[in-house]
Structure 1
């Protein structure tokens, strides 16, 4: 729950003990604190609002110490980012892109080698977060987030470069 005071809005958890006959007694209260979301550029927001929503849900899980599930969320966020980016670049292929597995989608619809390189590795680490046996033992959530950040960086750089090239032709 969140505190109803408009100036507070801090998250909290209240614990009650059952007294039987549908009566309960308050036991104690814990606070979770205010969960922070991450801000993303307008360029990324225009490409994939779904990415931002899912990433911030994974980030909230991580802030609450839910480390076994936040990696799955980051992997899902990456898929939304890549597929939305691919659809933006290839709008006539939307149906195919939506149905395609992520790794082949990157191979078929991402032309920038920098984006392709880091996104592919992010998929590898993201998949490790969903499987019983890890393939990349020396890597962790922090590495996955760095690869997602690099993917964001190169996508943003490409979008901004194209924008300025269109606005200021040779």
Structure 2
């Protein structure tokens, strides 16, 4: 069954128009699960506001993967989250090592993770996230006990760490020691 409608947001007063596909297992007593197939205007991802400074491409890649995920296109979403990870890791590395930009751009994701993520826990999470992402691109999946939701969660953890570190590294420049803040006008 196809349904469409309009929803008004109580927080921001915006209106979202949607079309949803409702599917059940053919039994009248089965719960109906909607799948949103169209939403306008698109809601921007606000999950990683700090990432816009370091990696606007990550925001775009992540939004596309989320859109595919919402539409139930899990194979595309899996590859999309893997792509978002690569963009984030490489943009983060380029921001930290600007003199190595060309090397980082050509470097395989696994090498970039191994060589450019210092924290061992985050490095291991990013490595495993790469495995899961690669799984969605190949004919036979190896890590079948993990789904796209696991990838999304792991990507969120890696992104939050990298963005937190970027914010903390920027802090001394934004608030230099021994310098008084300007008077507010």
Q: TM-score, normalised by structure 2?
A: 0.71
> Which residue does the alignment assign to 1:32?
38
Superposed counterparts of 1:125-140, under 5 Å: 125-140=132-147
Coordinate RMSD, CA, aligned: 2.6
Gaps of at least 5 residues in structure 1 are: 1-6, 13-30
Q: CA deviation at 1:51?
A: 0.7
Q: CA deviation at 1:65?
A: 1.6
Gaps of at least 5 residues in structure 2 are: 1-13, 20-36, 179-185
Superposed counterparts of 1:23-102, under 5 Å: 32-34=38-40, 35-102=42-109
Q: Where do 4+ consecutive residues of structure 1 move more than 4 Å?
A: none
Verify the 8 A CA contact 2:113 2:123 in the aligned structure 1.
Answer: yes
> Which residue does the alignment assign to 2:6?
none
Q: TM-score, normalised by structure 1?
A: 0.76
> Which residue does the alignment assign to 1:161?
168
Residue-by-residue CA offset, 1:25-53 (whole Å, 9 max, x unaligned): xxxxxx73345442144421111111111
Q: 2:17 aligns with which of 10, 27, 48?
A: 10
The number of residue pairs the alignment matches comes to: 149
